Amino acid sequence: MRVEKASSTKIKNTKQRELILNELRKLMSHPTAEELYKIVVKKNPKIGLCTIYRNLETFYKQGLVGKICTKPVRYDGDMSKHSHIRCTSCGKIGDIFFNVPINPVEIQKLGYKLQGYKIEITGLCSSCIKKQKREE
């Protein structure tokens, strides 16, 4: 008889979970939990904000959604390979589709096992560039 490993808790499919994931996937933006809550609560007025928080984290751990560690945290329903650019002036986050070659072997040499990587580019978005010019 041997001791089992800590049980991998089985995730249950609830209506809330489905609703949250669907609504996030519909969006082209990168909403915060709060922002997504405001959308979701229209379809299910009984849902609680903490359910959004909980499920977004679960989705992220399952690899179903992306997470952008700004403050507040933002989530991304689009899992295609892309990077983000954040405007340092207004905070807006845009998508950038281009590849950066990261070599897993290089990482292995350093003693790490590569799991993923994220590139966060910072810059000024077009509307903030215009705004800045007007102020000069």
Partner DNA sequence: AGATAAATGAAAATGATTCTCATTATCATT
Partner DNA sequence: AATGATAATGAGAATCATTTTCATTTATCT
Q: Which residues bind a second copy (CB under 8 A)?
A: 5, 69-71, 85, 87-88, 94, 96, 98, 100-102, 106-107, 110-126, 129, 135
Residues 65 and 43: their CA atoms lie apart, in Å, by 21
67, burial (CB in 10 Å: exposed 0-12, middle 13-18, buried 19+) = middle
Q: At what angle do helices 49-62 and 33-43 cross, to 10 degrees?
A: 110
Q: Which of a second copy, DNA, none does residue 94 bind (CB under 5 to 8 Å by kind)?
A: a second copy
Beta carbons of 37 and 56 less than 8 angstroms apart:
no
Q: Tokens for 103, please give them.
A: 């070599």
Q: Which of a second copy, DNA, none does residue 131 bind (CB under 5 to 8 Å by kind)?
A: none
- Tell me which residues in 8-67 interact with DNA (CB under 7 A): 9-17, 32-34, 44, 46-51, 53-55, 57-58
Distance in Å, CB of 19 to DNA, minimum: 9
Which parts of this chain interact with DNA (CB under 7 A)?
7, 9-17, 32-34, 44, 46-51, 53-55, 57-58, 71-73
